[in-house]
Amino acid sequence: MQDVCLTNNPMVISSGNLCVKKIEGDALEVMKEVKRAVIMGYRLISHPLTGSIRPDVSPYKSIIISGNPKILDIESLQLIENAIEYTQNLYKTVKERKWDKDSLADFQFIDFCLINNLLGSDISKECRLWS
């Protein structure tokens, strides 16, 4: 099976060029879902803190995991647990953010570009929404 992108980014979800699993919620919820997948034997393909925009600044996060579960990958588990802890600490210091429509579109585009750059240009167009 092809690698899967877990995301809450509408632009990534609607792009039609990735195997995606839509996650409801913020960046932290995406990371928690990735952790559940890692515990089931999937491994991280992309780093959970890719890019220079902190998860408390952008509401969108896309993380790529392997398409086939195998044995627990300790490095993937440590990475995602550290990312979750980092994000939780950031969330404690920030009041709820409200973004305007243009800012949300910008954050979606940045996250989309990061994921496309990670996957390269030969992304399968035939992969349907992964659920």
> Could you say which DSSP state residue 21 is in?
E
The count of other CB atoms within 10 Å of the CB of residue 36 is 12
Whether residue 14 lies inside any domain: the answer is: yes
pLDDT at 15 over 90: no
Whether residue 94 lies inside any domain: the answer is: yes
Whether residue 131 lies inside any domain: the answer is: no
Number of domains in the chain: 1
The count of other CB atoms within 10 Å of the CB of residue 127 is 18
Whether residue 124 lies inside any domain: the answer is: no
pLDDT score, position 17: 64
Whether residue 125 lies inside any domain: the answer is: no
- Tokens representing 72 are 């627990």
Pairing of strands 20-22, 4-7: parallel
pLDDT tens track for 46-102:
999 988 888 888 999 999 998 888 899 999 999 999 999 999 999 998 777 889 999
In this prediction the pTM is 0.87
Whether residue 114 lies inside any domain: the answer is: yes
Question: Rounded to whole angstroms, how far apart are CA atoms 112 and 14?
Answer: 11
pLDDT at 112 over 70: yes
By residue range, what is the domain housing residue 28?
Answer: 4-119
